[in-house]
């Protein structure tokens, strides 16, 4: 398996624009997690899914953030409208007892 695949690897966008981050989990994994990493706050869990169903989205910062998992092989994290403070590295991870991380998407909002 190629591991958890995230796209794009880098995204630069202007404030106010919509941003969509994508994730393909490892086949057969029941759990999918979205994390955000910043220097100030470290790694924060935003939301996670079990069998495509959102279980806990208490880490989503505000209504501008939304996440979907339409099927077992794909998830998106959307920010609309984006703001400079959303600049961070966003990681997707999948697994169960062991969580495997993608390479991340570095988002810069200018």
Partner 1 sequence: GEDVEQSLFLSVREGDSSVINCTYTDSSSTYLYWYKQEPGAGLQLLTYIFSNMDMKQDQRLTVLLNKKDKHLSLRIADTQTGDSAIYFCAESSVNNAGNMLTFGGGTRLMVKP
Nearest Cα neighbor of 90 from 25, 49, 46 is: 46
- Using only C-alpha atoms, the chain has a radius of gyration, in whole angstroms, of 13
Per CB under 8 A, 93 contacts partner 1: yes
Nearest Cα neighbor of 88 from 34, 48, 25 is: 34
**Ranges within 47-76 binding partner 1 (CB under 8 A):** 48, 50, 55-56
Interacting span for partner 1 (CB under 8 A) from 13-21, 41-49, 60-68, 69-77: 41-49
Question: Which stretches of the chain bind partner 1, using CB under 8 A?
Answer: 4, 31, 33, 42-43, 45, 48, 50, 55-56, 91, 93, 95-104
């Amino acid at each position: 398996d190629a591991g958890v695949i995230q796209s794009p690897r880098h995204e630069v966008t202007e404030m106010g624009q919509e941003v969509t981050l994508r994730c393909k989990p490892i086949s057969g994994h029941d759990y999918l997690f979205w994390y955000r990493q910043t220097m100030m706050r470290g790694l924060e869990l935003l939301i996670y899914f079990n069998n495509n169903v959102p279980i806990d989205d208490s880490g989503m910062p505000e209504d501008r953030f939304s996440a979907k998992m339409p099927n077992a092989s794909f998830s998106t994290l959307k920010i609309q409208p984006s703001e400079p403070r959303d600049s961070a590295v966003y990681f997707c991870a999948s697994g169960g007892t062991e969580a495997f991380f993608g390479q991340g998407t570095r988002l810069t909002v200018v």
